[in-house]
A and B are shown apart, each in its own frame.
Chain A
Amino acid sequence: MTVALSIVVDGIAYGMILFMISVGLSVTMGLMRIVNLAHGGFALLGGACAHVLTMRYGMPFVPALAASVIAVIVIAIPLERLVYRHIYRFSELEQVLATIGIVFVMIATVNLFLGSTLLTIRMPPEVSLPVNLGFKVLPLHRIIVIVVGLLMVTGLYLLVERTRFGIYLRAAVDNQNTAASLGIDTPKVYLAAFALGAGLAAVGGILGAELLPIEAYYPLRYMVLFLTVVTVGGMGSIVGSFIAALSLGILDTAGRYLLPDVGTIFFFLAIIALLALRPNGLLVRPS
């Protein structure tokens, strides 16, 4: 019983981090339909920026987080105008090549200025205090991540489903020409959505850094992890990604508790089984 409870609590806490680090990708890849392998690159830029601000300039964590996210958005906007705008029209394979090219350049840039060692982000010491929930001890920052994750998924759900921006975005992705003829400024909608995706990637990179520390090769090291969450979640669905992230977190944690020796094999076999049964993701029925 305690084991089951531990699995669920640890699994949700881990799953929420998985959601945080991949939510930016569910916007760019899931909603906008770009094979954006550079997603981790934006998380890396955000994390590197937060590292410099907190460690070199001693900025407190929360302002540093805000400043880093803004910095990444400021980088993302011209990048979208100059490069990504053309990438939207590419075939999937060309998108792979282009975004891998972009991520290489991002890695090389961080490597050039900050080297290839771990780039820690200083957090207030209180966040690593163990909090006793009665049945289980959990570090405070996991609780913070759970809360932020819940806020994020609610906010995004409302944004995509309930606001005019969300309607425009879905229309623009489904049929750009029709959307444009209806008077939707599709380039602006795309720009906003892309900036949102990049900003979320930065948030995820920074908040997830307690578990997946930032270093120059971060985007490549965790690429499989990002892709897993978005694939299992299904394209075009933020809620799907959220449920996928939590399920994968619980699945992985269960593997580590119950079958530690074959945990990795168990995890990937489960993903294979899941995708074989539901090729379009958890929430989407096979067509």
Chain B
Amino acid sequence: MIRISTIDIVRTSLGGTGKLLPVAILITCAFAAFWLFPYDLGFLTQMLIMMVFVVSFDLILGYAGVATLGHAAMYGCGAYAAGLFAIHASPDPLLGLAVGAVIGALIAFFSGLLLMRAHGLSLLMLSIAITMVLQEIASKARDVTGGADGLTGISMTPILGVFEFDFIGKTAFWYAFSVLFIILVVLRVLVASPFGLALRGIKDSPSRMRAIGTPVYWRKVTAYVIGGTIAGIAGALSAQITSLVSVEAFNFALSADVMVMLILGGAGRLYGALIGTLVFMTVRHVAASIDPFNWLFVIGFMLLAVVFFLPDGLISLPRRVAGMIGARK
């Protein structure tokens, strides 16, 4: 069982050619998906939004090593904030994203003050409890949120006044992709920065980081706020593109899915988050449309196979295969 050391990760993410190649691959993939699956843009857009969401969780779990099961708190708040802003203040999509981001950050900050002091099981439970409280509030504030029926009446003006949301979902697809792309670029810079290195250090050994004078708690709160901001953006995207927000945005199952997708792809690697989301959502979509009754078997065995044979996640597959071929020679 070969584990990739932190040094390796740092080296790859700082590597010169490694900087441009993934960007090119990402854009190529987006164009390929757009041309190959013109009828599935709705589903692809959902996947892009989920990628934004999972990447935001990667910063928290994968880089800072903070395991929570309540990441939907920021997603849901971002979604409601963007939805309410569109209805009552301005239908401009970019302003709405900003509002979702700010609310996501605020929720993350205030809950983070408490959460980042906790560890292990108690951290998991606290994050679940906070999400439950928020969901219950959203469900009870029927006059504001529409309760279980969902928040309706969201309609958006064209993005930058030019790109109108169309019936087929082309604009929504490129809108979600652009947001994902920008966030990935920002996160890539961030994780390679001293702040990112400090996070990895905290993940490996908080006591050592404390000993060299790093304010461990505040670094973690900062990471949580950045993660929350991005999760808020993901929620806002979903609200704007679906034109509806439901209390399901706070579901425990959503937080759990995000964690599963991330570990599946490979936590602590931005592209691991993307691959995990891609594989999980595709398998679920395909398996559920072939046999909705038994698709859980497929997902269940897939998770077991990955955890037993690819402990570093799907992203380590090429390396493992290469390793096996190398060993045979």
Contacts and interface: CB of A to CB of B under 8 A. Distances in A.
Interface of A: 29, 83, 86, 90, 92-94, 96-98, 100-105, 107-109, 111-112, 220, 223-224, 227-228, 230-232, 235, 261-262, 264-265, 268-269, 271-272, 275-276, 279-281
A107 B220 CA distance: 36
B114 A105 contact: no
B300 interface: yes
B250 to A, nearest CB: 12
Contacts of A228: 125, 128-129
Given A105-B296, A107-B296, A97 B307 contact: yes
Given A101-B301, A104-B300, 18 more contacts: A29-B121, A90-B307, A92-B67, A94-B311, A100-B303, A101-B304, A108-B295, A108-B296, A111-B296, A227-B121, A231-B122, A231-B125, A261-B140, A262-B140, A265-B136, A268-B129, A271-B125, A275-B129
B124 interface: yes
Nearest to A269: B133
Contacts of B137: 265
21 contacts: A86-B308, A97-B260, A97-B263, A97-B303, A97-B306, A100-B303, A102-B304, A103-B300, A104-B297, A105-B296, A105-B297, A108-B294, A108-B295, A108-B297, A112-B297, A230-B121, A265-B133, A268-B132, A279-B117, A280-B122, A281-B122
A222 B270 CA distance: 32
A29 B106 CA distance: 34
3 A-B pairs with least C-beta separation: A104-B300, A101-B303, A105-B300
Contacts of A261: 140
Contacts of B136: 262, 264-265, 268
Interface of B is mostly: helix
B122 A98 contact: no
Contact of B125 (A93, A108, A112, A227): A227
Interface in B89-129: 114, 117-122, 124-126, 128-129
A86 B305 CA distance: 13
Contacts of B54: none
Interface of B: 61, 67, 114, 117-122, 124-126, 128-130, 132-133, 136-137, 140, 252-253, 256, 259-260, 263-264, 267, 293-297, 299-304, 306-308, 311
A275 B296 contact: no
Contacts of A29: 121
A235 B123 CA distance: 13
A271 B129 contact: yes
B121 A231 contact: yes
B195 to A, nearest CB: 23
A261 B263 CA distance: 38
A98 B264 CA distance: 10
B307 A272 contact: no
**Max chain B C-beta neighbours (<10 A), residue from A97, A275, A276, A279:** A97
A83 B307 CA distance: 11
A196 B207 CA distance: 37
Contacts of A264: 132, 136
Contacts of A112: 293-294, 297
Given A268-B129, A275-B118, A231 B124 contact: yes
A272 B129 contact: yes
Contacts of A268: 129-130, 132-133, 136
Contacts of B295: 108
B6 to A, nearest CB: 15
Nearest to B65: A93
B297 A279 contact: no
Contacts of A98: 303-304, 307-308
Contacts of A275: 118, 122, 125-126, 129
Contacts of B293: 111-112
B119 A279 contact: yes
**Max chain A C-beta neighbours (<10 A), residue from B132, B140, B301, B302:** B132
A281 B100 CA distance: 35
B303 to A, nearest CB: 3
B121 A101 contact: no
Contacts of A280: 122
Contact of A235 (B61, B121, B130, B302): B121
A217 B260 CA distance: 18
A79 B110 CA distance: 43
Contacts of A230: 121
Nearest to A116: B293
Contact of A96 (B114, B133, B263): B263
Contacts of B126: 271-272, 275-276
B71 to A, nearest CB: 14
B260 A100 contact: yes
B266 to A, nearest CB: 11
A272 B306 CA distance: 34
Contacts of B122: 231, 275, 279-281
A56 B253 CA distance: 33
Contacts of A86: 308
A100 B256 contact: yes
A105 B295 CA distance: 10
Nearest to A95: B307
B66 to A, nearest CB: 11
A264 B118 CA distance: 22
A223 B259 CA distance: 15
Nearest to A115: B293
Nearest to A93: B263
Contacts of A100: 256, 260, 300, 303
A260 to B, nearest CB: 12
